[in-house]
Amino acid sequence: MNILIIGGAGMVGQKLAHSIAGGGLGDISVERLVLHDIVESRIPRAPFAVESMTGNIGDPSEASRLAALKADLVFHLAAIVSGEAETNFDKGWNINAHGSWYLLEALRNEHDASAGEYRPKLVFTSSIAVFGSPYPDKIGDEFLSAPQSSYGAQKAITELLVSDYSRKGMIDGISIRLPTIVVRPGKANLAASSFFSGIIREPLNGKEAVLPVGDDVRHWHASPRSAARFLTHAARLDTALLEGRRAINMPGVSCTVAEQIEALRKVAGEEAVRLIRRQPDDMIIRMVGSWPRDFEPERALALGFQAEGSFEEIIQVYLEDDFKTQ
């Protein structure tokens, strides 16, 4: 099997690439892995060929170049993150919505040119940002998608495109709605949710962290390790089991910021907690206030997707996987 990861230089793309290199796809035999992003991707050691490509998926010609690879399995992870998509309207729509449509159109052209023989499996990383308030106590699998941000709208549109191109037989797609992924290693990015990682990562590394929202904010989380597992599980899943409903809520951990901090205290002590500085940010408060807080992901659990059971466990994953590599 030939595999393409679009967004391969990003944190989740790198976790996925290393998982595949280490046998994360189980009995699926891999011949070639291509990592594509706007910058060069780090190449993991693997028992098969791995290469990096660079380009902008907001350019239709780049989508055609990627589709011409005729990958059997395409992971579409590339996106402008939530905060940047909100503040840079044109860039968000060009990459997150137009770029996805260009990719699907290019795959459709390869499908048509092969008289229907080429039909790749496509796994798209969507987001819980496709939902909007008012919310029930827990969002079930029947809750409507009604985003209240540009990022959420762009993800929701791509979900619909993936479903329709799959219905027409041009691809075999699945959209997985990721929780907020924490604890992210490295520097903070431009996502409005970045502080959820920062208030854990920075104190664990002896640095000050800024908390822009109140302690009572509740949110839905999973680790980078779980994100990679969601993706590899989706790649192996028989999409007939989805019964035409190709967007699915991933499992995770619901907790408040106060509960995050208490988990940090249990793991690293009061000295780490003292490094959190409260500095309210009205824009982030408004954005986070419109995000989902808790889920009942019964479909995903029934289909074998798994995540952590507590936020303390998420912190332990960071310590095991990324703490020493910071």
Whole-angstrom distance, CA of residue 20 vs CA of residue 160? 27
What is the structure's pLDDT at 72? 98
Q: Which residue among 102, 118, 151, 318 is the active-site one?
A: 151
Percent of the chain with pLDDT over 90: 92
For residue 189, the model assigns a pLDDT of 79
- pLDDT, mean of residues 155-166: 98
Q: Is the pLDDT of residue 130 over 90?
A: yes
- From CA 32, how far away is CA 167, in angstroms rounded? 28
Average pLDDT, integer, range 36-46: 97
Bridge-based pairing of strands 180-181 and 218-222 is parallel
Joined tokens for residue 284: 């982030």
Among 94-108, 184-198, 236-250, 293-307, where is mean pLDDT lowest?
A: 184-198
Instruction: Identify the pLDDT of residue 326.
Output: 52
Directed axis angle between helix 257-268 and helix 194-204, to 10°? 20
Q: Is 104 exposed, middle or buried (0-12, 13-18, 19+ CB in 10 A)?
A: buried
pLDDT tens digits, one per residue of 73-115: 999 999 998 889 989 999 999 999 999 999 999 999 999 999 9
Range with the lowest mean pLDDT among 94-108, 181-195, 252-266? 181-195
Query: Dihedral, CA atoms, 42, 48, 51, 56, nearest 10 degrees?
Result: -90
**Which whole number is the average pLDDT over 149-164?**
97
| Per-residue pLDDT tens over the stretch 198-222 | 999 999 999 999 999 999 999 999 9
For residue 113, give every residue at least 6 positions away whose Cβ sits within 8 Å of its Cβ, in sequence order, or none: none
- For 285-305, write each residue's pLDDT tens digit: 988 888 899 999 999 999 999
Q: Cβ distance 130 to 64 under 8 Å?
A: no
Report pLDDT for 290: 83
Percent of the chain's residues with pLDDT above 70: 99
Looking at residue 188, its pLDDT comes to: 82
* Rounded mean pLDDT, 18-32: 96
151 carries an active-site annotation: yes
Residues with Cβ within 8 Å of 230's Cβ and at least 6 positions away in sequence, in order, are 176, 178, 222, 250, 305, 307
Where b means 16+ CB within 10 Å and e means fewer, 200-230 reads bbbbbeeeebbbbbeeebebbbbbbbbbbbb
pLDDT at 190 over 80: no
